[in-house]
Amino acid sequence: MTLTEERRKAQQIRRLNKPDPAARSRGGQRFLLVGLVLASAYSLFPVWWLIVAATKNRTGLYQSNGLWFSGMHLWANLRQVFTYENGIFLRWTANSFLYAGVGSLGGTLIALATGYGLARFEFPGRSAVFACVVGSFLIPIALLTLPLYLMFSKIGLVDTPWAMLIPCLINPFSVYLAKVYTEATIPFELLEAARLDGAGELRIFFSIVLRMMTTGGATVFLLAFVNTWNAFFLPLTVLRGENNWTLNIGLYNWSGKRLESGVDLTGLVLTGALLSIVPMAVMMVAMRRYWRTGVTLGALK
């Protein structure tokens, strides 16, 4: 065997022993797919259990498989939820929409204005202000609940909608997101051109900046809405009368009646919990077009 033939044979052996990149890629895709399926199943498992539980009566809840249906009593459960205690569930739903909707909308506007000011204006102490903003959103809201309660009790705001709306207007994390998004999307040249054309600062903010920050504003609003909608400790502390309760506090009160008075309202609690996640799902779908618009705008840039 000549030297050339030996080299050719050695190259063939190395080529056979070399792993196939396509096979490696297919293996990585399968691993990723399995991971995504497991993560999706883990995320959807509580929702599936809640949907199944909302379709059962009291007997089915305790005597049937928790992951499968046992009769269809969903409409009866819904009717009972909306009529129990003269329809107090609808009042709690309206309160949650008031606190989460109005509070998040006002908080989003304040956060966008504050983030825009920190990102595009020079003033003494700007770095210190931003450091305070970053440090403040690291403090859990539970630590601020008692001071808020003491402050609101002195000025007579306890057990009023303002006790929920005022804390929703100030969100340091939303300010941080607005600042970062402003720095990425609002160029100095555009602002200078608007000032040269004679536009005032308020007109620049409302006519130009807000339009360009639609995607960031939608993200800030959605995060604030979900956070306020799911709030528990703050409304539990500052709201006393059941007419001002949120959905979470109302459902928590229903679940506690089994221990207090022996009335089992587990079916109502589960059906109400299922209804409480519908607005957030609708909000996610409604905000999707703003994110798609923002991604398309970034691609065009």
Q: How far apart are CA 21 and CA 13, in angstroms?
A: 17
In the predicted model, is pLDDT for residue 270 greater than 70?
yes
- Of 34 and 262, the structure prediction assigns the larger pLDDT to 34
Q: What is the pLDDT of residue 118?
A: 92
Q: What is the pLDDT of residue 7?
A: 62
Within 10 angstroms of residue 60's Cβ, the number of other Cβ atoms is: 19
Digit-coded pLDDT (tens) for 109-155 = 999 999 999 999 988 988 899 999 988 878 888 888 889 999 999 99
Q: What is the pLDDT of residue 73?
A: 85
Mean of pLDDT over the chain? 84
If you average pLDDT over residues 227-250, what whole number do you get? 91
* Angle separating helix axes 266-276 and 278-300, nearest 10 degrees: 20
Q: What is the pLDDT of residue 298?
A: 43
Q: What is the pLDDT of residue 141?
A: 80
Q: What is the pLDDT of residue 299?
A: 39
Residue 3 vs residues 7, 9, 12, 45, 187: alpha-carbon distances, Å: 6, 10, 14, 65, 67
Within 10 angstroms of residue 295's Cβ, the number of other Cβ atoms is: 11
CA 152, 158, 162, 163 dihedral sign is: positive
Q: What is the pLDDT of residue 18?
A: 54
* 131: amino acid identity, one letter: A
If you average pLDDT over residues 269-290, what whole number do you get? 86
User: Alpha-carbon dihedral of residues 164, 166, 168, 171, nearest 10 degrees?
Assistant: -150
Q: What is the pLDDT of residue 291?
A: 63
Q: What is the pLDDT of residue 107?
A: 94
Give percent above pLDDT 90 in the chain. 34
Q: What share of the chain is helix, strand, coil (3-state, %, to 5)?
A: 80, 0, 20
Q: What is the pLDDT of residue 215?
A: 85
C-alpha R_g of the chain: 28
Q: What is the pLDDT of residue 98?
A: 94
Digit-coded pLDDT (tens) for 119-128 = 999 889 888 9
CB-based contact 248:230 (threshold 8 Å): yes
Q: What is the pLDDT of residue 151?
A: 93
Q: What is the pLDDT of residue 175?
A: 93
Tokens of 243: 């007419």
Give percent above pLDDT 70 in the chain. 85
In the predicted model, is pLDDT for residue 81 greater than 70?
yes
In the predicted model, is pLDDT for residue 24 greater than 80?
no
If you average pLDDT over residues 95-120, what whole number do you get? 93
Kindly state the DSSP code that residue 86 receives in the 8-state scheme: T
- Of 11 and 23, the structure prediction assigns the larger pLDDT to 11
In the predicted model, is pLDDT for residue 250 greater than 70?
yes
Q: How far apart are CA 230 and CA 104, in angstroms?
A: 13
If you average pLDDT over residues 182-197, what whole number do you get? 89
Q: How far apart are CA 81 and CA 272, in angstroms?
A: 7
